[in-house]
Structure 1
Amino acid sequence: MDLNTVLDVCDARRHELWRSGDAWLGGGTDLLSTPQPQLRRLVDLSRMGWEPIQVLPDGSVEIAATCTIAQLYRFGRTLDAEAAPLFEQCCRAFLASFKIWNMATVGGNLCTALPAGPMISLTAALDGMCLLQGQDGSVRRVKSADFVTGAGRRDLSEGELLRSVTLPAHSLRCRTAFRQVSLHGLGRSGALVIGTLDPWNGALFFTITAATRRPFRFRFALPPGPAELRRAIATTVGEPDWFDDIHGLPEWRRHMVFRLAEQILQELTEDGAP
């Protein structure tokens, strides 16, 4: 889509004063998909030269905000970690063509903050930490599960930039289970639930996205029973928290989350699991 109110596109490597009407430009797949009448200038991040993905000395994985979905998918297929399958599963949860995969970025998916954003699901489930950089050069860190605060809302100040997301090594060693459902075979996610089982202490985590306006993450020191799991979800996720749009009614989303969570519970606590 033509953004006919944009008057200038500038290189993010040049330090310029942030002003009203500016927006960061990464892959641009969402930015250029809908009218943006408030925009006057795009600040292009494509020449920043950030390494898309780095494995750090402690075994954690740092994903640059400009890393594309295609790059993340390829990395996940070569990653020697218990949680590696989750990368491919979340990439394939996109309602997107290969052309989008090669342009859309991890940071863009997080900052768009759509409930069905699968990069939100991936990074929240693996206890990701977002690195945010302000216009004055200051930095702060926010957990990925807390970065998205609602449908289309995220914890970003004016002009603040999402620089990267780091997935800790201990999360990558977790056993995972993935469940996703849509109203149609190739439809947008109506509910997406991820379970992770800590091999060291047996703690079990459930992360709920797509069905809710923001991510919800549950920790159980010991695997719960089905009734306890349902009760924890029902008492934490309030009625206003269930998302409502053409891709699914709140009642259906709630029902599917209960069902998918119970399937994950069974998968991760079957005989032979830690």
Structure 2
Amino acid sequence: MDLNTITAVIRPHGRDDLPAWQAGDAVLGGGTWLFSEPQPHLRRLIDLTACAWEPVEAGSAGLSIAATCTLAALDAFAAGAHGWSALALAGPCCRALYGSFKILNQATVGGNLCLALPAGPMTALCAALDGICLIWTPGGGERPVPVLDFVTDAGVNALRPGEILRRIDLPARTLARRAAFRQVALSPEGRSGALLIGTRDTDGAFDLTVTAATRRPVRLAFDALPDEAALAVALDGAVPAALWYDDVHGRPDWRRHVAVRLALEIRRELAR
């Protein structure tokens, strides 16, 4: 869709080139949502693709994913041999977007996070793997925000005016965990109604991250694998009624039901 209110497109090649933020600005990464519907309030786009950030960088501390990394690039990287078992989650999470190959080659990890839709699969992936968002603040500063705290509600994120999501860091200790993925939608090509990820450490610690079914990510952490009854009770206690999401892709009671079912499936898989 043409955005006919845009009067300027700024293409910074680095942080020093970023313009001062003003009303009517929007950051452009992949643009798959930005160009999907009218944006009459926008006047200027700041195109971050000209910064040419390395999409994915691996090191002893873990993985750094640029905000401009496409889902296709992340999927391709994760398909390689990196010695991190939980990185296998990237493939199913990328495909849980249910976009065409054109969308997957254009949509970005950072854009999916910033959009803050409950069904955002990059939110699920990065929250489950203890991701930390590195945010550039106006004036040259930066601040880290856990992905679990970055998405604060449906369509709402923690960015303040003029702030830019630079990258997401995933720690090696979490990437080394065993992991299990479950996702369900009302139709084969529908938006996720529930997307859950479980991880288990070598010491037996178990974490469960719930997304899509809830307005924001929810994390349950256990020192040891709970039994099925305890897990179901804990999940009910962690998600108050108002936090279950309600839209055309699923009623709250259905989302709660399938979330519990998927949580138990994940527990059984990681109990082996």
Q: Tell me which interval the TM-score lies in, with the shorter structure as reference length.
A: over 0.9
State which of 189, 194, 198 in structure 2 corresponds to 1:191. 194
* Corresponding position of 1:239: 241
State which of 19, 23, 37 in structure 2 corresponds to 1:16. 19
**What is the distance in 2 between the residues matched to 1:19 and 1:248?**
37
* 1:105 and 2:121 correspond: no
Q: Aligned letter for 2:204?
A: G
* Corresponding position of 1:255: 257
| Paired residue secondary structure (1:86) | helix
Q: Aligned letter for 2:118?
A: P
Structure 1 residue 138, shift from structure 2 partner: 0.7
TM-score by length of 2: 0.97
- Root mean square deviation, CA, Å: 0.9
TM-score by length of 1: 0.96
* 1:27 and 2:10 correspond: no
| Paired residue secondary structure (1:156) | coil
Mapping 1:125-274, distance limit 5 Å:
125-199=128-202, 201-270=203-272
Q: Aligned letter for 1:69?
A: L
* Corresponding position of 1:120: 123
Deviations 1:132-178 (A, max 9, x none): 00121110001111100000000000010000000000011100000
* Corresponding position of 2:4: 4
Q: Aligned letter for 1:40?
A: R
Q: Aligned letter for 2:198?
A: G
* Corresponding position of 1:41: 44
- Say if 2:209 and 2:219, in contact at 8 Å, map to a contact too: yes
Q: Percent identity?
A: 52
Deviations 1:181-239 (A, max 9, x none): 0000111100011000011x210000000000000011000111111111111112111
Unpaired segments ≥5 residues, structure 2: none
**What is the distance in 1 between the residues matched to 2:158 and 2:267?**
31
**What is the distance in 2 between the residues matched to 1:50 and 1:113?**
22
* 1:51 and 2:54 correspond: yes
| Paired residue secondary structure (2:10) | strand
**What is the distance in 2 between the residues matched to 1:41 and 1:60?**
35
Unpaired segments ≥5 residues, structure 1: none
State which of 68, 71, 74 in structure 2 corresponds to 1:69. 71
